[in-house]
Amino acid sequence: MFALAPDSPWTRRLVGALTGLTAAAVALGVTELIAGLNRNWRSPVIDVGDRVVDNVPVWLKEFAIDQFGTNDKPVLLASIGVILAVYAMVVVTLAFTRRLAIGVVGFALFGLIGAYTAISRRVGGSFDDAIPVVIGTGAGIGAIVLAHHLLTPLLTSGDATDEPVDVEGRDEDETLPVESPTDPARATRRDLLITGGGLIGVFALVGAGTGAVGRAIRSRFSATESRANVVLPDAADPLAPIPDGVSVGVDGVSPFSTPNADFYRIDTALTVPQVPTDNYELRVTGMVDNELSFSFDDLLQRKIVEHDITLTCVSNTIGGELVGNARWLGFRLDELLEEAGVQSGADQVVGRSVDGYTCGFPLEAATDGRNAMVAFGMNGEPLPLEHGFPVRLVVPGLYGYISATKWLTEIELTTFEDFESYWVPRGYADRAPIKLMSRIDSIDGLGTLNVGPDGMAAIGGVAWAQTVGISDVQVQIDDGEWMSAELGEALNKDTWRQWAFRFEPSGTDRTRTSIRCRAVDADGVIQTDERSEPLPDGASGHHQIVVFVE
């Protein structure tokens, strides 16, 4: 290691790096503080993150979902933070070892990138959105200049014996006894420790403090309170509670209704959009005879319906978890479009979100009689913030990416020729009905299959064929015949159906057994064994696992 000799080049580098790190904290903290003053302002880290999300190649996005699941967002933001920290440390180290200008220009450059991403953000970016980052960058540069001004003299003065070997071989404990109390080098070292350490500590505190205050004052823009105040209306024709018969009673099978807290979440939003109901507006626009506009209260006054619908993500892999079932409360999309009067020629319904996200699906899916909904309730509660509060779309039978716009603000009638929704230019299909699929839930691959005293084992899972319905689930053990499973009661055609299969496994003592399942829909179509990736229009293939018989 090196000694903290004021004249050592390593001391300079260390001081530079720590100044860089803490000046970056000042810049980000002050930005956060200023951003907290206005609902439309936010940290440029989020804007940069949006850019990454919007431009990341799809294979990397699928990889991130696969690796980190719903944690892909914190991982992304943390990565941006690490890159920022390393960059700041490098440029400010250079500011201390070469020229101050390198640090100043380096920070200014990053500020410019932040300002640019803020101004050109997904929705509604304008010049004033750069104000937080401009002020924050200014504060960061101020910190660098101040530190450079106060610390450089301490780094250059003092004991002039700056022979590197001598310096690097020196150790504080070793040298202290031989130095006189008035040794100038020792005095400078103490000054450096006090001034440098103090300054860096103050920067760290200012960064953390302004950041924390910024977040605290931003919380007044939260939609949590607005959500708490929503009183959901009853459906005109309320559904009966879900019958017990939908459940097959096998441990480990996904509950028929997915609790909101466990419902998978997939979206491109790095921070959950906060949309209170007071200023909420839903507009119906485009190729319609009457453009319409509704407040949140207007929506609650409409004819209310509720439906149980299983939502599925196109990124769901075979055996994956990106599927959930809920009871949605809202109103019918076809009735809304009827009121608007869809003009001939329109063939695509586009759902726009406050965050700029767009879905787009065939007009037919909205008008063919299926239960396509504009929803504000989920399992008896207002939509959770992460699931689109206050209003979203839910369309049975279509993957979420083209149909289920969360934080919905506009429904636009257009054509497929004129408009591509968010994922389409990124390689996903513009028409994407959910594929017939089944999953083994009760046991994981390489798990141990428990065999009862009677020699029997029970397995189970779920199968879905939204808008068509499931008529059979079949199971194959090793190379045996396909055999039908027992099915839970079918609630409707839009929800998944539980299945259970009881059989007598052959072998004991860690015998390997393979289990495979396939679904048959109500039209008699058998789930294909042909495997395909989620891209471009959803995974297919049988869920097959190998387990050990105990």
Ligand X SMILES: Nc1nc2c(c(=O)[nH]1)N[C@H]1C(S)=C(S)[C@@H](COP(=O)(O)O)O[C@H]1N2
Give the binding site for ligand X (CB under 6 A): 263-269, 311, 313, 353, 355, 357, 387, 400-401, 404-407
Looking at 66-74, 93-101, 310-318, 437-445, which segment touches Mo ion (CB under 5 A)? 310-318
Residue 526 host element (H or E): none
Nearer to ligand X by C-beta: 84 or 266? 266
Give min distance, CB of 354 to ligand X, in A. Answer: 8
353 contact choice in Mo ion, ligand X, none (CB below 5 to 8 Å, kind-dependent): ligand X
Contact 186, 174 (CB under 8 A): no
Q: Binding Mo ion by CB under 5 A: which of 214, 330, 400, 538? A: 400
264 contact choice in Mo ion, ligand X, none (CB below 5 to 8 Å, kind-dependent): ligand X
CB neighbour class for 345 (10 Å; exposed up to 12, middle 13-18, buried from 19): exposed
Give min distance, CB of 256 to ligand X, in A. Answer: 17
Q: Is there binding between residue 65 and Mo ion (CB under 5 A)? A: no
Looking at 115-123, 305-313, 492-500, 511-519, which segment touches Mo ion (CB under 5 A)? 305-313
Nearer to ligand X by C-beta: 269 or 457? 269
Nearer to Mo ion by C-beta: 320 or 400? 400
For residue 99, CA distances in Å to 4, 148, 428 come to: 21, 10, 49
DSSP-derived 3-state class of residue 273: coil
Q: Is there binding between residue 357 and Mo ion (CB under 5 A)? A: no
202 alpha-carbon distance from chain centroid: 34
Q: Is there binding between residue 324 and Mo ion (CB under 5 A)? A: no
Looking at 277-285, 395-403, 474-482, 524-532, which segment touches Mo ion (CB under 5 A)? 395-403
Looking at 48-56, 138-146, 265-273, 285-293, which segment touches Mo ion (CB under 5 A)? 265-273
Q: Which residue is nearest to Mo ion (CB)?
A: 313
Q: Is there binding between residue 501 and Mo ion (CB under 5 A)? A: no
Number of residues near Mo ion (by CB under 5 A): 5
Looking at 246-254, 311-319, 415-423, 511-519, which segment touches Mo ion (CB under 5 A)? 311-319
Give min distance, CB of 248 to Mo ion, in A. Answer: 27
Give min distance, CB of 400 to Mo ion, in A. Answer: 4
502 contact choice in ligand X, Mo ion, none (CB below 5 to 8 Å, kind-dependent): none
358 contact choice in ligand X, Mo ion, none (CB below 5 to 8 Å, kind-dependent): none
Helix axis angle, 131-156 to 197-218, nearest 10°: 170
Name residue, tokens 């995974």: 539
Give min distance, CB of 495 to ligand X, in A. Answer: 15
Contact 451, 505 (CB under 8 A): yes
Name residue, tokens 């040298």: 175
- Return the DSSP state at 220: G
Q: How far apart are CA 470 and CA 507, in angstroms?
A: 32
Residue 363 CB contacts under 8 Å (≥ 6 apart), including other chains: 337, 342, 346, 347, 348, 349, 413
Q: Binding Mo ion by CB under 5 A: which of 206, 266, 470, 539? A: 266
Q: Binding Mo ion by CB under 5 A: which of 41, 280, 357, 401? A: 401
407 contact choice in ligand X, Mo ion, none (CB below 5 to 8 Å, kind-dependent): ligand X
- Which tokens go with 463? 């199968």
Looking at 25-33, 200-208, 303-311, 398-406, which segment touches Mo ion (CB under 5 A)? 398-406
Nearer to ligand X by C-beta: 226 or 409? 409
Which residues, in sequence order, are bridge partners of residue 501? Answer: 459
Q: Which residue is nearest to ligand X (CB)?
A: 400
Residue 56 CB contacts under 8 Å (≥ 6 apart), including other chains: 64
Looking at 96-104, 113-121, 306-314, 369-377, which segment touches Mo ion (CB under 5 A)? 306-314
Beta strands 292-295 and 281-286: pairing type? antiparallel
Nearer to Mo ion by C-beta: 488 or 538? 538
Give min distance, CB of 293 to Mo ion, in A. Answer: 28
Sign of CA dihedral 4, 5, 8, 11: positive
237-268: b (≥16 Cβ within 10 Å) or e: eeeeebeeebbbebeebbebbbebeebbbbbb
DSSP-derived 3-state class of residue 333: helix
- In DSSP notation, 40-56 reads T---HHHHHHHHHHHHS
Nearer to Mo ion by C-beta: 130 or 314? 314
405 contact choice in Mo ion, ligand X, none (CB below 5 to 8 Å, kind-dependent): ligand X
Nearer to ligand X by C-beta: 457 or 465? 465
Contact 523, 468 (CB under 8 A): yes
DSSP-derived 3-state class of residue 187: helix
Nearer to Mo ion by C-beta: 314 or 539? 314
Contact 473, 517 (CB under 8 A): yes
Beta strands 373-378 and 470-477: pairing type? unpaired
**Chain positions contacting Mo ion, by CB under 5 A:** 266, 313-314, 400-401
